[in-house]
Amino acid sequence: MADVGAGMRNEQYRPKVLYIGGTGRTGSTLLTKLLGEVPGWFAGGELAFMWRYGLQQQGRCACGDRVADCELWSQVFAMLIANDVQVDADQMVAARKRCWSIHLPLMALPGIAARMFDRLGDFPHVVESTYRAIADVTQSRVIVDSSKEPHYSWILRDRTDLDMYFVHLVRDPRAVAYSWSRQRREKGLDGVRRMENRGPLTSSLYYTVSNVAAEAIWSRSDRYRLMRYEDFVASPERALAEIADFIGEPLTTMPVEDGRFNVSPNHIAWGNPNRFDAGTVQIHADEVWRRNGGRVARSAGFGSAAIARNYGYRPTAPESREVTRRLARHQIPSTGEDS
């Protein structure tokens, strides 16, 4: 790791950020863990939420320590302070609320997004400095951010000098809705805390708005790449090679073979609780929703059908329902890999 007392690299250096965007419960944490196994790539996880959950609520890094006490993140924050960048979680969370997911429809109006970004104050500067510090402390060429929120990526693209690439990760909306409906413990926070739940209507709304926004903000750019969860888990090797080619970082080694890879100790700051899982991971499709999704999956399928067709899904087609009934007769394992 770098000397935290040293200054960050000059402003001409642009950290390369691989942003995984779209909506939640699409397998982004699994993908992030795999990307973090590439030499020179750092898996940061959902960095947009680090200030709120990692610092404000004293959440835990994937290494097991609190983010504030983690050896790596402590060095990142120390480098920021050494370079006169204020590390104030309360201010960062308050600034983010000025440009929140509920504002996405409003931001589609001409000039509104720019005005909202103008209200962010030092937020973009602190965020950019944080990525620069991560790159320096970890000596990484690529920082993987799986925050998913399209509006946050918009801020990074338009109000910082980061070298941004956007992988738009999508998944069948029925699987997404079923994942949101499940009750699961939040391992990253002390006490008995549950992960956020959403009903099929809310899941469909977020699925539609987030994916439409991701397309609107990024799809006209050569920094945009669409990836389906189903294609990723079917061939992780191909998915990884395509991403590496997309961001101009040819692979010298392939960390996954036959869908299996080893998860090294890492410092994912926030994300799905499966970020704490170490050891060997066998990647395969988590399709337990086909057996247990029921009304939740069907309702979300109808609610998200219009945008889902853009990605090759037909959640309301009769043949799809027949496939669901046929597969439901088999015991399909859940891997917990759905976000």
Q: Is the pLDDT of residue 328 over 80?
A: no
pLDDT value for 274: 95
The CA-atom distances, in angstroms, between 75 and each of 3, 68, 81, 114, 328 are: 9, 10, 10, 33, 49
Domain membership flag for residue 24: yes
pLDDT tens-place string over residues 224-240: 999 999 999 999 999 99
Domain membership flag for residue 322: yes
Domain membership flag for residue 1: no
**Percent of the chain clearing pLDDT 70 (strictly above):** 91
Structural domain total, the chain? 1
pLDDT tens-place string over residues 207-219: 999 999 999 999 9
Domain membership flag for residue 7: no
Mean local confidence (pLDDT), 129-150: 98
pLDDT value for 338: 57
Instruction: Name the average pLDDT for the chain.
Output: 92
pLDDT value for 327: 47
**Percent of the chain clearing pLDDT 90 (strictly above):** 87
Sign of the CA dihedral running 297, 300, 302, 308:
negative
Q: Is the pLDDT of residue 9 over 90?
A: no
Domain membership flag for residue 225: yes
pLDDT tens-place string over residues 270-286: 999 999 999 999 999 99
Report CA dihedral (88, 184, 193, 209) to the nearest 10 degrees: 40
The domain that contains 79 carries what CATH number?
3.40.50.300
pLDDT tens-place string over residues 151-184: 999 999 999 999 999 999 999 999 999 999 999 9
Residue 279 pairs in a beta bridge with 263
Domain span at residue 254 reads: 16-327
Q: Is the pLDDT of residue 199 over 80?
A: yes
Domain membership flag for residue 305: yes
Domain membership flag for residue 59: yes
Domain membership flag for residue 299: yes
pLDDT value for 321: 53
Mean local confidence (pLDDT), 182-197: 92
Mean local confidence (pLDDT), 18-24: 98
> Residue 318: which pLDDT band, with cuts at 50, 70 and 90?
low
pLDDT value for 47: 98
